[in-house]
Structure 1
Amino acid sequence: MINEKVIIAGFGGQGVMLMGQILSYCATEKDVNTLWFPSYGPETRGGTANCSVTISEEYVNSPVISTPDSIIIMNKPSLAKFQPKLKQGGLCFVNSSLVIDEAYRDDVTIYQVPANDLALQLGNLKVANMVMLGAYLAITKIFTFDDVISVLEHKFTGTKAKLIDINRQALEVGKNAVIQ
């Protein structure tokens, strides 16, 4: 049974909202209940941003996630804010390119993914979010990469269609960063 509550957080402009939207769109495509709830800081680009995504076979009755099953953290301030809320035994995916030498809880599983560094190796820093999403999907197996690519094909049309291939590569790189 699917029942996943995830918080995705980082600076504005890091693709945090897109990751959440993709997960929600994938759930919708699979005919699973979902709720995506964005939260922006005072500045859009460069300020803090986070979103909550609930994916469940049961009815989703609230956008508020007080104890997430997983968190995807793109920057240091987001780790400080959301790591304490993560449920015991939860999954914490951290962009280790920007979050360095931090204290992590010992009752959760930490996946350190150098998302910015890996995205730069692909030639486009903007796909760091897809690197993180690839890592998350590789571990949780909540959706397949094909599910994500299908959503991207609907979302990225016209001139943005050329971005699908690099996003596919970024998903794979993210998977390879956490699967040995």
Structure 2
Amino acid sequence: METEEMILAGFGGQGVMLMGKLLCHAGMKENKEVSWMPSYGPEMRGGTANCTVIISEEMIASPVVSEPSTVIVMNRPSLDKFEPQIKEGGNLFVNTSLIDKEPERDDINIIEVPANEIADELGNNKIANMAMLGAVIEELGLVDLTSIVNALEDKLSKRNRDLLPLNKKALDKGKELVG
């Protein structure tokens, strides 16, 4: 496995930080080197939020990602900001439920995921991030889905434990979409 440098971006409340944490937690469970670094906009709520994630078989020298191999965008401002930074031949995951603009690059792999539509079909719009994460895991093969589910079990608070089966369904739907 090569080193995967990612940026996950959206607005606050879309679960991009959780996606990043789950990827790193799953990577640790698989004895990989990981790095997670959050970045928040100045707004109190609903502002921009993104994180960088690095997963590697080798030691990670720096958590800074200037030319990511993969970018996951959950909203239009994130697409506008991060699409130009993707390494040639890299991956761009686009939440087509909320992004009505076509990506401009033709030198990258574009994976369209209607994450919010999948979440709505399952009855809870808060799991759009899990639908996107399922697609990412299937497409990139960075970590096993089982490791993500185990990480989710570790990270979910006791009051949200009842959402675990629904989160698993969203992961599976996202995975099926690109599988």
Which category of TM-score, normalised to the shorter sequence, fits these structures? Answer: over 0.9
Residue identity opposite 1:112 in structure 2? E
Q: Give the equivalent residue in structure 1 for 2:125.
A: 125
- 1:107 alignment counterpart: 107
1:52 equivalent in structure 2: 52
Residue of structure 2 in register with 1:94 after alignment: 94
**Cα deviation 1:116-169 (Å, max 9, x = unaligned):** 111000000000000100000010011121111111111124221111111100
**Identity, % of aligned pairs?**
49
Which amino acid is the alignment partner of residue 155 of structure 2?
K
The aligned counterpart of 2:6 is 6
Q: Distance in 2 between matches of 1:174 and 1:103?
A: 20
Q: Within 5 A, what are the aligned runs for 1:1-180? A: 1-179=1-179
The alpha-carbon deviation at position 3 of structure 1 amounts to 1.2
Q: CA deviation at 1:61?
A: 1.4
Task: Return the letter of the residue paired with 1:162.
Answer: D
Alpha-carbon distance between aligned partners in 1 of 2:57 and 2:124, rounded to the nearest angstrom: 36
Q: Distance in 2 between matches of 1:156 and 1:14?
A: 16
Q: Which runs of 4+ in 1 moved over 6 A?
A: none
8 Å CA contact 2:66–2:85 kept in 1: the answer is: yes
Consecutive unaligned residues in structure 2, runs of 5 or more: none
How much has 1:9 moved relative to structure 2? Answer: 0.1
Number of positions where the alignment pairs a residue of Structure 1 with one of Structure 2:
179
Q: Give the Cα–Cα distance (whole angstroms) in 2 for the partners of residues 33 and 61 of structure 1.
A: 10
* C-alpha displacement of 1:58: 1.2
CA distance in 2, matches of 1:152, 1:62: 26
Say which is worse superposed, 145-154 or 155-164, in terms of deviation: 155-164
RMSD: 1.1
Q: Which moved more, 1:90-99 or 1:153-162?
A: 153-162
Deviation at residue 102 of structure 1 after TM alignment: 2.4
- Could you report, residue by residue, the CA deviation over 1:84-143 in whole angstroms, capped at 9, with x for unpaired residues? 000001010000011113243100010111111110000000000001000000100111
Q: TM-score, normalization: structure 1?
A: 0.96
Q: Decide whether aligned partners of structure 1 residues 63 and 119 sit closer, same or farther in structure 2, where only a CA change above 3 A counts.
A: same
**Equivalent residue letter for 2:71:** I
CA spacing shift, 1:103–1:141, aligned 2, 3 Å: closer
